[in-house]
Structure 1
Amino acid sequence: METAESTHPLVIFGEHDDRTVAQMQRCMDYGSAVQGVLCADGHLGYAQPVGGVIAYEGHVSISGVGFDIGCGNLAARTDLPYAAIKDRREPIMRDIARKISFGLGRVNKERVEHPLFDSPLWADAGIGDLKQIARNQLGTVGSGNHYIDLFEDEAGQVWIGVHFGSRGLGHQTASRFMKAAGGEDGMEVAPALVEDGSELGERYVAGMRIAGEYAYAGREWVVEQVRQILGAEVTESVHNHHNYAWRERHGGRDFWVVRKGATPAFPGQKGFVGGSMGDDAVIIEGVDGPRSAESLYSTVHGAGRLFSRSQARKTFQRSAMDAWLSERDILLHGADLDESPMAYRRLGDVLAFHGDTIRILHRLRPVLVMMAGRNERDPYKD
């Protein structure tokens, strides 16, 4: 861990390229930023690095929350031993693919009703016209690095893991407020901020909250469908956003803490952190200590990219990706080279940089990975 030169304290975990560090330092120079953290899985993002965490005294960063508001992970431990499904993975995969939609603009084949559609937050945010697309897409996964996985833990039990966010609702909500706040497109631009308590700020926070509730509801619905397909019962769940702004108290002061691709890890708080499609995931728990406080009680949300999507497609071969998975006995549905395990850091390496701020409760070995296919594109990925 190191502290970089910036207008305000910036704590950096791990090793990063100069552009990513410069982008994070630039974010710290705007608005009421007080403290920042760059997690070990960080990389260049739109206006703010993925893996970047910033505490603001009087602002919320639309750029920091990002376009996939409420993107996050849900892991559910089941009462099912892996031995009971090992030879049934192919039909299970087909059943999941029939039930759950992946890819660009896909709508759910089954209409999902949910109390969140009656929330006053839609009117508070002024986004009631987005309810229809939200209804249509609730419970869909999208593409990019979003997935449904089955895992085996160290005790031989099956876990269901999902990763996705608020789909078209989040993207359109973020786009509207980004424009209203005068935000610019691109990587090396100033972050779009709204002032806490302002009319625009209040409307954005309402929109962020409903998109976050929507993302939670979607992940819960998908896990429930997979649970039914498996014929299992859930014995434990770990659920967290990693693209969101939280109202938190640090050092006796109240802040908006904006995490863009970072997992909250307060003492005793559990989180689900995925690796690449070919690496173990983990269930972590935050621990107390000086470094934990300096990290704003935040940790990695994944392994972190080494290659951009376009670079990965040009660099890696499908045969090498398939061999990686075959050696580890991982069945794959969909995906493309942009999600190849070789395009990512190794999760164990990035977790090591955060070692005294978290502890690992479970290691989860992927046994079935489902993602959108090569020809399925989605603008609503994180």
Structure 2
Amino acid sequence: MDLQESVAAALAGDRAVLINLALRRLDWSRAEVALLGRGEADAIARALEAARKLVAPRRTAPIEPVVIGQHTPTTLAQLARCLDHDDAVGGAICADGHLGYSQPVGGVVAYREHISVSGVGFDIACGNLAVRTDMPFAAVEGRVDAVLDEICARISFGVGRVNDAPVEHAIFDDTDAWRAADAIGLLSTARKQLGTVGAGNHYVDLFHEVQPGVTPLASPVWIGIHFGSRGLGHKLATAYLKRGGGREGIDVPPTLLHQDSDLGRGYLAAMELAGRYAYAGRDWVAATVLDILGAHETDRVHNHHNFAWREEVGGAPAWVVRKGCTPAFPGQRGFVGGSMGDDAVILEGVAGAEATALLSSTVHGAGRICGRKEAKRRFDRAEMDAWLSGRGVALRGGDLDESPMAYRRLPEVLAQHAGSIRILHTLRPFAVAMAGADVVDPFRD
């Protein structure tokens, strides 16, 4: 019996199911559950009310999402399934969208009172950080290989890796936050992993800015970083997905928790903790790369793109769940990367009807045109190396599943969002560090 069926049975008066829900899903103590067994009216009423909040009923009238770009029928069906709840109030998919776990990558969905564990995904608070330095490209051009070697020596890439130089950070002293998230047991591992990058499409890149009238050698170097909350976020997402009665997979309904349930409050605390942890990790990596370069920071742009925020939608508060979406309110800046061989950009949101329809969201990357297994079948290493060499990009790690040929071209994707964003800076990559081909990460959303 799945969660929705269990709640339905409990609401219909099945005492055994109600007791099981109270004990396992509603986080009741055994003493409280004992009251249910004795038939105490107040306890039953409270349990039924809590059970109602565990599952949002299906909609009687569908919500039409805003769709930017071309998408497969399965991707659009996945988004429609996320919107098939009475608590949903809006949704959209950006031009870089594709299938994800339960909710499409590039998809944004708003719920009035529910938070989507599966919508945020397994890599809670995955995001991008761009740091502009005071160093011109001329100062690093002749030592790119040495810089990449040191980046790979001092920063750990791959699944399950730990930082060779454990990091002290104030987040580890906030025991109240760890308790609220039910994450005390993860504290030791999280401490060891802070500042590691992970696998899949997670990276540390170096760029020079493309500036009209300025030669590349005179343009500033930027650092680009993409990863999330590592093992901490994955374990928290898995735990709350199971507690909420959800299932892992592509073709599954969203796992929704009511904001006022014990599980919902616990998950929101877990998401916030993972978000702080992801920011701390990306900050540490940026500081390390600045040290390797011998440069100083002059500007930064930092965003999550697997997260949920409490925002106003249609004149009332809602939980806006962005999976692979960059928040882009008017004037808010975001860093969006292409593939390892393409330009990236710093953009900002602009006001207008399109921005409102997209729930103030935009792309987080170029978006895949094929799956990882298919990319390894379709492309070869010589082709990928030639692509990178032709653009002057030095690569450490990476594999064919991250080949530039497996991605859309970012300028074409951004052009489809021209009514809601403005490009501020164009960044051209010259060095890329990623996990190697021997590393497999099943949760790259």
TM-score, normalised by the number of residues in structure 1: 0.97
Picking from 27, 45, 58, the partner of 2:100 is: 45
Look up the SS of the partner of 1:373 in the other structure.
coil
Matching residue of 1:130: 186
Picking from 294, 306, 322, the partner of 2:369 is: 306
Tell me the distance in 1 between the aligned counterparts of 2:90 and 2:443: 29
Matching residue of 1:206: 269
The yes-or-no answer on 1:12 pairing with 2:67 is yes
The yes-or-no answer on 1:182 pairing with 2:245 is yes
Amino acid at match of 1:12: V
Amino acid at match of 1:129: G
Matching residue of 1:23: 78
In the TM superposition, residue 381 of structure 1 has moved relative to its aligned partner by 3.5
Tell me the distance in 2 between the aligned counterparts of 1:375 and 1:204: 33
The yes-or-no answer on 1:81 pairing with 2:136 is yes
- Which structure has the larger Rg over C-alpha atoms? 2
Amino acid at match of 1:283: I
Matching residue of 1:94: 149
Look up the SS of the partner of 1:335 in the other structure.
coil
Q: Superposed, which structure 2 residues align to 1:334-353 within 5 Å? A: 334-353=397-416
The yes-or-no answer on 1:330 pairing with 2:386 is no
Amino acid at match of 2:184: G
Tell me the distance in 2 between the aligned counterparts of 1:371 and 1:94: 12
Picking from 409, 413, 420, the partner of 1:357 is: 420
Kept in 2: contact 1:168–1:380 (CA 8 A): no
Q: Superposed, which structure 2 residues align to 1:1-382 within 5 Å? A: 7-30=62-85, 32-119=87-174, 120-155=176-211, 156-379=219-442, 381-382=444-445
Tell me the distance in 2 between the aligned counterparts of 1:143 and 1:121: 27
Amino acid at match of 2:236: T
In the TM superposition, residue 379 of structure 1 has moved relative to its aligned partner by 4.5
Task: String of CA shifts for 1:33-82, please: whole Å, max 9, x gaps.
Answer: 11001011000111110001011001000010000000000000011110
Look up the SS of the partner of 1:240 in the other structure.
strand
Look up the SS of the partner of 1:378 in the other structure.
coil
Amino acid at match of 1:371: M
Matching residue of 1:3: none
Task: String of CA shifts for 1:256-310, please: whole Å, max 9, x gaps.
Answer: 0000000000000000000000110000000001111111000000000111111
Kept in 2: contact 1:164–1:381 (CA 8 A): no
Tell me the distance in 2 between the aligned counterparts of 1:65 and 1:376: 24
Look up the SS of the partner of 1:266 in the other structure.
coil
Amino acid at match of 1:266: F
In the TM superposition, residue 31 of structure 1 has moved relative to its aligned partner by 5.1
Kept in 2: contact 1:52–1:262 (CA 8 A): yes
Kept in 2: contact 1:79–1:157 (CA 8 A): yes
Tell me the distance in 2 between the aligned counterparts of 1:104 and 1:213: 20
Alpha-carbon distance change, 138 to 372 in structure 1, aligned in 2, over 3 angstroms: same
Tell me the distance in 2 between the aligned counterparts of 1:248 and 1:264: 11
Higher alpha-carbon deviation: 356-365 or 110-119 = 110-119
Amino acid at match of 1:150: L
Tell me the distance in 2 between the aligned counterparts of 1:33 and 1:185: 21
In the TM superposition, residue 321 of structure 1 has moved relative to its aligned partner by 0.1
Tell me the distance in 1 between the aligned counterparts of 2:396 and 2:67: 36
Alignment gaps of 5+ in structure 2: 1-60, 212-218
Aligned residues: 377
Task: String of CA shifts for 1:82-109, please: whole Å, max 9, x gaps.
Answer: 0111111011011111100001211000
Look up the SS of the partner of 2:66 in the other structure.
strand
In the TM superposition, residue 203 of structure 1 has moved relative to its aligned partner by 0.2
Amino acid at match of 1:154: V
Kept in 2: contact 1:268–1:285 (CA 8 A): yes
Kept in 2: contact 1:167–1:380 (CA 8 A): no
Larger strand proportion of the pair: 1
Amino acid at match of 1:126: D
Alpha-carbon distance change, 221 to 209 in structure 1, aligned in 2, over 3 angstroms: same
Larger helix proportion of the pair: 2
Kept in 2: contact 1:31–1:59 (CA 8 A): no
Tell me the distance in 2 between the aligned counterparts of 1:380 and 1:110: 26
Tell me the distance in 2 between the aligned counterparts of 1:138 and 1:244: 19
Tell me the distance in 2 between the aligned counterparts of 1:125 and 1:100: 28
Kept in 2: contact 1:150–1:159 (CA 8 A): yes
Tell me the distance in 1 between the aligned counterparts of 2:378 and 2:352: 41
Alignment gaps of 5+ in structure 1: 1-5
